[in-house]
């Protein structure tokens, strides 16, 4: 028995017309990234527009919901799922809706009545208690003890966005446990799982927050396919059902590892690749990018890659193609677009994989390095931003890595830096357009901070007679002139280089300070040309390593600098030496 086919057949036998699934990317709706429910493409018809297929409709709808994205990896959550639904557009109402749901569950799916329970709306200021629905349930033999009356939090559905059709609902629960079915239904008991939702859509929520009766009374039902299959097959792990078995098996085969003990990564790979196949498989042609649906696609693929790596899958092999091909084969009968766009899908996955696998390893090392120097358990915004900007780690991936180590990420700080960066690139683009670069690019900024670190390291290694005599920075290298009267030994150079790299590793915050010049001098701040500065000066403080008069700009944390390497040490002029160095 195939649940999708049976569902369609049953409702067609009750006078419904089957309509095709709408794309998972909403058509003509820029306010929503994805289709999240079967009713979403039907909103105009629930509002009163005439549907060409009539007033009774049935379908299975591709849906993507992101609110549970972080939960994926457990037994039941998915980012993509299929929703079975039937609708009455001003046609039948509560009586038939409840009668047919009951008939389908007990006579087609053969669920024993004692394993069923329902919730109905207990009423509020807008709508009265739904005793009508409760009575219909009772007429089919559902006992009063198996009916729970709940508030709007639980038994009111919609609108899907801020405004639109909504109404009270009645939800159907199944006893998913080998324990004896209790006499009384407790909706809080997790052994009862919701399997179907029948919404009686008779109100329109306006933008003033009012509930206005719709022209017509509608029914909107939704049944989560994956969940009901799990119920029917008697397993509590969705990924062990017929929906996922072959895909999980394929991942076991590719990774040479058993599902048991590796569930989380295997579930994430399976779920995320399936959703990616569905998004990339739409005719509209979504490609991984840094905005909107493209960003979600990128996040999903990158997270799948990172979990493939966690399973020691050779990421450069055709693993993703094998899994995606299997998924396409499984879904093409229901969603022909995935077959039609197979080449596109495989290409999207491969290209994104090639892009990300180049930086993934380095980024993971960077992450490990950064956390080994943390004083607390919060990943600083600079580290998160560098992982994003340099290594292509979506912030969510960094958060996930952190949470695996019981750490948090300074998300707010990251968002600020992200905005700042966007602003900078916008300004940079404008500058370039005007025909000149300002010379304050990202690399120059990093080199600028490196001069402060080098200055401090040289003082440490050679002595306090060292002062900066000049510097010159390009995006590719730095030159630093300083007072010292003899050639540095190999050992001194090595020590200096190591010290700078040590400062970088320590992830020291770089702070900008403003104070009176005399106070700054009292603090022992290093200055190249004291007279150049006015009464109030700007200083940059790098922990206890360095305090220098300087106008900036600088990075905000030393960890943003890559590895520092001295290329050459030579004489510049009498009593002045010159170091050429690179950040690499």
x-or-dash pattern for ligand SER, window 170-199, by CB under 6 A?
A: ---------------------------x-x
59 vs 400, beta carbon nearer ligand SER: 59
Partners of 222 in beta bridges: 197
- Among the listed ranges 220-228, 336-344, 408-416, 502-510, the one in contact with ligand SER (CB under 6 A) is 220-228
Pairing mode, if any, of strands 17-18 and 164-175?
unpaired
> Locate tokens 């010379």: which residue?
439
73 vs 158, beta carbon nearer ligand SER: 158
Q: State the number of binding residues for ligand SER (CB under 6 A).
A: 10
- Please say whether the dihedral angle defined by the alpha carbons of residues 172, 178, 183 and 186, taken in this order, is positive or negative: negative
Is the distance from CB of 84 to CB of 185 less than 8 angstroms?
A: no
Is the distance from CB of 82 to CB of 61 less than 8 angstroms?
A: yes
Half-sphere exposure of residue 373, counting CA atoms within 13 Å on the CB side? 19
Residue 169 Cβ vs ligand SER, minimum distance, rounded to whole Å: 7
11 vs 157, beta carbon nearer ligand SER: 157
Q: What tokens appear for 513 in the block? A: 């300070």
218 vs 468, beta carbon nearer ligand SER: 218
User: What number of helices (H) and strands (E) belong to the chain?
Assistant: 18, 18
100 vs 157, beta carbon nearer ligand SER: 157
List binders of ligand SER among 19-48 (CB under 6 A).
37-39
Residue 170 Cβ vs ligand SER, minimum distance, rounded to whole Å: 11
Residue 222 Cβ vs ligand SER, minimum distance, rounded to whole Å: 2
> Locate tokens 């739409």: which residue?
282
- Among the listed ranges 12-20, 183-191, 214-222, 395-403, the one in contact with ligand SER (CB under 6 A) is 214-222
Helix residue ranges per DSSP H, 14-142: 43-46, 94-103, 131-139
- Among the listed ranges 90-98, 109-117, 130-138, 216-224, the one in contact with ligand SER (CB under 6 A) is 216-224
23 vs 85, beta carbon nearer ligand SER: 85
Is the distance from CB of 51 to CB of 57 less than 8 angstroms?
A: yes
**CA-based nearest residue to 57, from 222, 169, 210, 192:** 222
Q: What tokens appear for 170 in the block? A: 């009645």
Burial of 495 (0-12, 13-18, 19+ CB in 10 A): middle
Between CA 380 and CA 88 the distance in angstroms is 53
- Among the listed ranges 11-19, 218-226, 305-313, 445-453, the one in contact with ligand SER (CB under 6 A) is 218-226
10 Å Cβ neighbour count for 474?
A: 12
Between CA 67 and CA 80 the distance in angstroms is 11
- Among the listed ranges 215-223, 266-274, 359-367, 405-413, the one in contact with ligand SER (CB under 6 A) is 215-223
Written as one string, the DSSP assignment of 216-259 is EEEEEEEEEHHHHHHHHHT-S-GGGSTTTHHHHHHHHHHHT--S
Pairing mode, if any, of strands 478-483 and 468-473?
antiparallel
38 vs 288, beta carbon nearer ligand SER: 38
**CA-based nearest residue to 8, from 199, 223, 219:** 223
Between CA 482 and CA 577 the distance in angstroms is 6
221 vs 455, beta carbon nearer ligand SER: 221
227 vs 353, beta carbon nearer ligand SER: 227
65 vs 580, beta carbon nearer ligand SER: 65
Residue 194 Cβ vs ligand SER, minimum distance, rounded to whole Å: 9
List binders of ligand SER among 261-320 (CB under 6 A).
none
Is the distance from CB of 307 to CB of 47 less than 8 angstroms?
A: no
Binder among 157, 175, 503, 564 for ligand SER (CB under 6 A): 157
Between CA 575 and CA 451 the distance in angstroms is 19
> Nearest residue by C-beta to ligand SER?
222
Residue 43 Cβ vs ligand SER, minimum distance, rounded to whole Å: 11
Between CA 108 and CA 113 the distance in angstroms is 13
Pairing mode, if any, of strands 546-549 and 408-409?
unpaired
Q: What tokens appear for 236 in the block? A: 């509590």
> Locate tokens 């009508």: which residue?
132
Binder among 23, 73, 85, 363 for ligand SER (CB under 6 A): 85
Residue 157 Cβ vs ligand SER, minimum distance, rounded to whole Å: 5
85 vs 562, beta carbon nearer ligand SER: 85
Is 82 one of the binding residues for ligand SER (CB under 6 A)?
no
Residue 44 Cβ vs ligand SER, minimum distance, rounded to whole Å: 15
Residue 223 Cβ vs ligand SER, minimum distance, rounded to whole Å: 8
104 vs 388, beta carbon nearer ligand SER: 104
Residue 216 Cβ vs ligand SER, minimum distance, rounded to whole Å: 17
Is 220 one of the binding residues for ligand SER (CB under 6 A)?
yes
x-or-dash pattern for ligand SER, window 221-260, by CB under 6 A?
A: xx--------------------------------------
154 vs 240, beta carbon nearer ligand SER: 154
Residue 155 Cβ vs ligand SER, minimum distance, rounded to whole Å: 12
The residues that touch ligand SER, with contacts defined as CB under 6 A, are 37-39, 85, 157, 197, 199, 220-222
């Amino acid at each position: 028995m195939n649940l999708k086919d049976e569902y369609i057949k049953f409702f067609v036998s009750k006078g419904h017309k089957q309509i095709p699934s709408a794309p998972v990317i909403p058509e003509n709706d820029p306010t929503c990234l994805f289709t999240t429910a079967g009713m979403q493409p039907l909103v105009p018809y629930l509002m009163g527009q005439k549907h060409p297929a009539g007033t009774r409709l049935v379908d299975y709808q591709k849906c993507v919901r992101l609110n549970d994205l972080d939960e994926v990896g457990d037994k039941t959550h998915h980012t993509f799922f299929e929703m079975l639904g039937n609708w009455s557009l001003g046609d039948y109402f509560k009586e038939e809706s409840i009668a047919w749901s009951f008939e389908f569950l007990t006579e087609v799916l053969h669920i024993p009545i004692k394993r069923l329970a329902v919730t109905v709306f207990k009423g509020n200021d807008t709508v009265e208690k739904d005793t009508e629905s409760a009575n219909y349930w009772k007429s089919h033999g559902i006992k009063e003890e198996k009916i729970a009356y709940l508030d709007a939090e639980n038994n009111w559905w919609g609108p899907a966005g801020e405004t639109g059709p909504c109404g009270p609902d009645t939800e159907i629960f199944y006893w998913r446990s080998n324990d004896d079915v209790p006499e009384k239904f407790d909706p809080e008991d997790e052994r009862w799982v919701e399997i179907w939702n029948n919404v009686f859509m008779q109100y329109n929520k306006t933008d003033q927050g009012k509930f206005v009766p719709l022209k017509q009374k509608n029914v909107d039902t939704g049944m989560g396919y994956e969940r009901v299959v799990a119920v029917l097959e008697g397993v509590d792990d969705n990924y062990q059902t017929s929906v996922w078995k072959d895909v999980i098996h394929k991942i076991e085969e590719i990774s040479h590892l058993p599902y048991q003990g590796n569930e989380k990564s295997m579930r994430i790979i399976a779920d995320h690749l399936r959703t990616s196949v569905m998004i990339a498989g739409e005719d509209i042609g979504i490609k991984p990018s840094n905005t909107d649906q493209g960003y979600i696609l990128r996040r999903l693929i990158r997270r799948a890659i990172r979990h493939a790596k966690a399973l020691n899958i050779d990421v450069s092999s055709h693993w993703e193609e094998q899994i995606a091909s299997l998924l396409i084969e499984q879904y093409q009968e229901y969603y022909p677009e995935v077959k039609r766009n197979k080449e596109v899908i495989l290409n999207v996955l491969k290209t994104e994989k090639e892009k990300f696998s180049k930086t993934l390893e380095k980024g993971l090392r960077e992450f490990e390095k950064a956390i080994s120097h943390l004083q607390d358990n919060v990943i600083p915004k600079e580290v998160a931003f560098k992982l994003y900007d340099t290594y292509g780690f979506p912030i969510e991936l960094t958060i996930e890595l952190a949470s695996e180590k019981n750490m948090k990420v300074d998300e707010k700080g990251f968002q600020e830096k992200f905005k700042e960066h966007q602003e900078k690139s916008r300004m940079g683009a404008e500058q370039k357009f005007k025909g000149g670069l300002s010379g304050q690019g990202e690399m120059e900024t990093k080199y600028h901070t490196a001069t402060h670190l080098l200055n401090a390291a040289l003082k440490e290694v050679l002595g306090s007679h060292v002062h900066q005599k000049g510097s010159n920075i390009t995006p590719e290298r730095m030159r630093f002139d300083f007072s010292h009267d003899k050639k540095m030994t190999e050992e001194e150079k090595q020590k200096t280089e190591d010290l700078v790299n040590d400062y970088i590793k320590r992830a020291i915050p770089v702070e900008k300070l403003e104070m009176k010049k005399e106070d700054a001098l009292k603090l022992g701040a290093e200055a190249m040309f004291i007279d150049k500065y006015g009464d109030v000066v700007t200083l940059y403080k790098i922990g206890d390593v360095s305090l220098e008069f300087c106008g900036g700009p600088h990075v905000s944390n030393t960890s943003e600098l890559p590895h520092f390497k001295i290329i050459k040490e030579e004489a510049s002029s009498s009593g002045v030496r010159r170091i050429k160095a690179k950040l690499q």
